[in-house]
Amino acid sequence: MEISAQLVKQLRERTGAGMMECKAALTEAKGDLGEAEVVLRKKGIASAAKKSGRSAKQGVIASYIHPGAQLGVMIEVNCESDFVARTDDFQELVHDLAMQVAAADPQFIRKEDVTQAALDKEKDIQRGRALGEGKPEKMVDKIVEGRMNKYYEEVCLYEQPFIKENTTSIADLIKAKIAKLGENITVSRFVRFKVGDTGAAETPAAE
């Protein structure tokens, strides 16, 4: 089918992807703008995965103070070049990540950062809960495993649903920016402060 220049322009404005990529996605989606966005997103995330092993030594440290000044966050987000670190897209991502930490209070950055002690404690809690609900012993391990996925969504930044779009995870939000900006992007650490809470501590990634 014929894909109009106006449709290509609309998709470019919505996604930031290149003209040829937009045209190809629209062709694959038979002119459906929403479906073309999905096509680009899938391709972008696949492309971003290839960049995830690259060194990211540039970036910014940013802060976010929630209205009322009772809650604040500092976060370090890294990329590969100072040029990308200064772009509006990168700055927007950093701001969104700081807001995410403020709103959702993650305890770790990634699943692999969760300490063994925290995992053991949560598994014991979920095992006890399953047994207390009268679940068959032979099913308990599978039930606990399923509930641990929910636990990761609650405590790991990358696993959490994005507060502005809960059908997107933070990991996928970052991957979309990697695809758009062409550089690896990673969260190194964050700290969340709440007035009256003396337990605030830096949350670094696992070494």
Tokens of 146: 């399923």
- State the architecture of 58-110+156-204 in CATH terms: 2-Layer Sandwich (3.30)
Which CATH class for the 5-51 domain?
A: mainly alpha
- The predicted-structure confidence for 170-199, as pLDDT tens digits, reads as follows 998 998 888 888 888 999 999 999 998 876
Return the pLDDT at 61: 95
Tokens of 77: 């987000």
Residue-level length of the chain: 207
3-class DSSP string for 116-140? HHHHHHHHHHHHHHHHHCCCCHHHH
Per-residue pLDDT for the chain (207 aa), expressed as one digit of tens each? 678 888 888 887 776 666 777 888 888 888 888 888 888 777 665 555 566 666 678 899 999 999 999 999 999 999 999 999 999 999 999 999 999 999 999 999 999 899 999 988 988 888 888 888 878 777 888 888 888 888 999 999 999 999 998 888 999 899 888 888 888 899 999 999 999 887 655 666 554
Q: Where are the domains of the chain?
A: 5-51, 58-110+156-204, 115-154
Q: What angle do CA 170, 172, 176 make, to 5 degrees?
A: 115
Tokens of 88: 């509006």
In CATH, the number for domain 115-154 is 1.10.286
- The predicted-structure confidence for 84-100, as pLDDT tens digits, reads as follows 999 999 999 999 999 99
